[in-house]
Structure formats: structure tokens, C-alpha cells
Amino acid sequence: MEAELEILSGGRLNTRVFVRLGQTITVGRSAPADLILDGDASLSNPYFSLRVDEVGCWLTDLGSRYGTFLNGRRADEAFVPDGSTIAAGSTTILVFVTHKRERVHDVPAAFRAGNKPHWAGAAPPPVPVIEALAAVSEPLFALLDAARSDQVLEILRPSGERYQSLYEGPQGDELADWAPYLVALPAGSPLREVLVREGWGQSWGVYPTCPFSFDEVRKHFRKFLLVKSQEDGRTLYFRFYDPRVLRLFLPTCNASEAAEFFGPIRAFLMETEDPQRLLRLTPGKPGAEQATMAVSIVANAEVLR
């Protein structure tokens, strides 16, 4: 169990911090706080603490003057669900809570040997999902978040498939180990199965289908990396490639917003809370104001059409 903190606004914008199992960190404007947000003058010191135990992540306000807000509500002490936001002063922090599992095999070595990896001792693979993705006839891609696990890039580098960060320039080079990556998954590629076996249920990313070229698909998704806050107009990173974010975001879109986001994309495939199931989101019919998209669940041995 661990919590990943991403600072969306305020001091140390876009910083990522991890709170490990059994660890407690304090957040404030200056030392002795563990996470120092010296760019936010509205924070007291220390302001709040976060701790991670076997159950999950817990927030405690440390007597701050203006209060700590969890998902928009003031909280003195509270459980922090996965995907929550914490607001303190002018700082907003996104919290992802994950279960980390041990690696029991060496995926790159398996690729280099030209053999399918062996997952002895790992959890049973979601066979229906593997079969469903293998049966997708349309050109299939993956949008993967390298910040979720070191294994993402360890798997991609020796795979032989084309992949590229959505970031560009010097900043893109600096963030290479934490960037979102577009990956081509042609029919018959063993990478489809490897990604499911390794990352399914771990929120590594989503799987769009699109008949356009790799470069065109990448150009489309780059448009959504940054968004402006409706509250204060600040520019923020948008983690649309996280399935926990996308499956909540798309249903909130109106018809024109959904049409813009889908663009040339025929469907988004992603995990649900049930690892044996696969969620498919497709655009709604043109002119249907309420039908921004169609939703279907693939389970058991059903095949996507």
C-alpha cells in the first residue's frame, strides 16, 4: 500500500511525492514539515499530515487556521479514498492510493529471449480481457503512465513496438520517467498480453482504437495534456490517460465536449474495478444531445466487435 501525491496548484506545482506503508508525512510552509510548500504563503506550519497503513491513507488537520478540505469538504481527520483531492491554502493535491505487488518475473528478459513470459506465483491473469484485446480488429493503441510503475518503461523498451512520450522538448526529456506514453499495439503483438498480465487493475493506462496513424493519434492526445481551471484560470496537467480519471470524466461531458475529446478515436477500452471486466466507451450518435457516448462491459469470454 502506498499513496502518490501530485501537486496540481500552489507551491511546487506538478511535484510528485510517495507516502509508503507505515509512513506519516507532515505538509506545511517550512521545516520541520516533511513536504515543504514554500511557495504557498497561506499555509501554516505544519498544516496537515498524511499517513498510510494496511487499510489505506488517512488525513489529519494539524490545527490549521483555514482548514483542510478533502474532496471539497472540510476535514479534521478522515479516510482518503483513491483519486481524492486535498485543498489547503492555495495548494491542491491529487492523491492516488495503490496496492504495490512484488515483481515475480523479468519481462524484458522474456522479450529478449523471444518467449512468452512465465507468471508462476502471480495472480491469475484476466483471461477474458486478454482474449478481448487480442480480438480487437481495429488499430489498437495504449496510453500508459510511466509514473505508475517502473515496469512500464522496462516492458516497452525491449518490446519492439513503437512508443513515444506525449511530452516534448527539454521538459519532456526531464520527465521521461514519469511521462504518459502512446504505444502502438498491432494485431498479434505479444505486448497486448504482457500489458494486461502486468498492469491490469493497476491503473497503468487506457487503450484507444483509431484508424489514424501513430503521429496523428499522438497529436490528438497532446491537445488535452493541459487544461485551465474554471475557478482561477490556472493551467493544470490533465491525467486523462488514468482509467480512474477517464471513466469519471467522460460521463460529465456534453455532446460537443465528448465529440471534441473522442475526435478520431473510435473507442476507449479500460479496466473497471472488477479486473475480469473491460469497459468500452464509444462516441454517441451525431445530433443526439444526451447520448454523448455508448457504454458496454465485456466479461467472461465475450469478444469486442
pLDDT > 70? residue 302: no
For range 86-96, the mean pLDDT = 87
Residue carrying C-alpha cell 484508424: 211
pLDDT digits (tens, 9 = 90+) for 24-56: 999 988 888 898 887 777 787 889 999 998 778
The answer to whether 107 and 8 are in contact (CB under 8 A) is no
The answer to whether 145 and 183 are in contact (CB under 8 A) is no
What interhelical angle do 127-134 and 191-199 show, nearest 10? Answer: 150
What is the per-residue pLDDT for 113? 36
- Domain boundaries, given as residue ranges, for the chain: 2-98, 107-298
Please spell the DSSP secondary structure of 34-91, one letter per residue: SEE-TT-TT--SS-EEEEE-SS-EEEEE-S-SS-EEETTEE-SEEEE-TTEEEEETTE
| Top-ranked range on mean pLDDT: pick from 95-99, 151-155, 232-236 | 151-155
Q: What residue type is 72 in one-letter code?
A: G
pLDDT > 70? residue 227: yes
C-alpha grid cell, residue 172: 519532456
pTM: 0.59
3-state secondary structure of 124: coil
pLDDT digits (tens, 9 = 90+) for 141-166: 999 999 888 889 999 998 899 999 99
What is the per-residue pLDDT for 114? 38
Comparing 74-83, 91-100, 188-197, the range with the smallest average pLDDT is 91-100
Please spell the DSSP secondary structure of 1-46, one letter per residue: -EEEEEEEESTTTT-EEEEETT-EEEEESSTT-SEE-TT-TT--SS
Rounded Cα distance between 240 and 242, Å, is 5
What share of the chain in percent tops pLDDT 90? 33
pLDDT > 60? residue 120: no
pLDDT > 60? residue 119: no
What is the per-residue pLDDT for 111? 38
What is the per-residue pLDDT for 263? 95
pLDDT digits (tens, 9 = 90+) for 61-83: 998 888 899 888 889 999 898 88
The angle formed by the CA atoms of residues 162, 103 and 106, to the nearest 5 degrees, is 50
Sign of the C-alpha dihedral, residues 26, 231, 146, 267?
positive
The CATH number given to 2-98 is 2.60.200.20
Rounded Cα distance between 101 and 202, Å, is 10
Q: What is the dihedral of CA 6, 258, 209, 113, to 10 degrees?
A: 0
3-state secondary structure of 274: coil
Average pLDDT, the chain: 80
For range 75-103, the mean pLDDT = 80
pLDDT > 50? residue 199: yes
Position 19 confidence tier, pLDDT thresholds 50, 70, 90: very high
Residues 6+ apart with CB under 8 A from 183: 141, 142, 143, 144, 156, 161, 162, 163, 191
Position 125 confidence tier, pLDDT thresholds 50, 70, 90: low
For 259, list phi and psi in degrees, rounded to 5: -60, -40
pLDDT digits (tens, 9 = 90+) for 239-289: 899 998 898 888 888 888 889 999 999 999 999 887 778 899 988 755 444
Comparing 123-137, 147-161, 178-192, 214-228, the range with the smallest average pLDDT is 123-137
